[in-house]
Amino acid sequence: MKRIILFDGVCNFCSSSVQFIIKRDPTLKFQFASLQSEKGQQLLTKHRASQDMDSMVLIEKDRVYTKSTAALRIAKELKGFYQFFVIFLVIPKPVRDIFYTILAKNRYRWFGKKDQCMIPKPEDKQRFLDT
């Protein structure tokens, strides 16, 4: 089953996070699209998800996960010890999302921003739905 991650394509931190996921996803479980792309917007509309650009979005089995829940569900599928982060799902979502929201609101200031969405490496291009 493919899982789709929608991310802020102009955010340096978000683009780095996508590269991090790709390196730890040898079985190609994840596909990607930027939130700014036509495909990203179509997927948000199709799944009736918020158009909020301050959250990574995970679409899995026609369910939509955002913020810390998306990040933890992604970590659960990665190779290595990252799978153990799933234990944080026992913490109530509003508490988890406080930390996620702080990072999301400051991501451009702390990590910078690009003028255009990231361009995937040729070897990763097939994993991106909006290229």
* DSSP output for 6-41: EE-TTBHHHHHHHHHHHHT-TT--EEEEETTSHHHH
Q: Which residue type is seen at 61?
A: K
Burial class (CB in 10 A: 0-12, 13-18, 19+), 39: middle
pLDDT of 124 higher than 90: no
pTM more than 0.85? yes
pLDDT of 77 higher than 80: yes
Q: Of 115, 106, 1, nearest to 58 (Cα)?
A: 1
Vertex 37 angle, CA 69 and 8, to 5°: 40
Could you report the per-residue pLDDT of 27-55, keeping only the tens digit for each? 999 999 999 889 988 998 888 877 766 78
The first and second tokens of residue 122, run together, are 């040729």
Locate the domains of the chain by residue range: 3-127
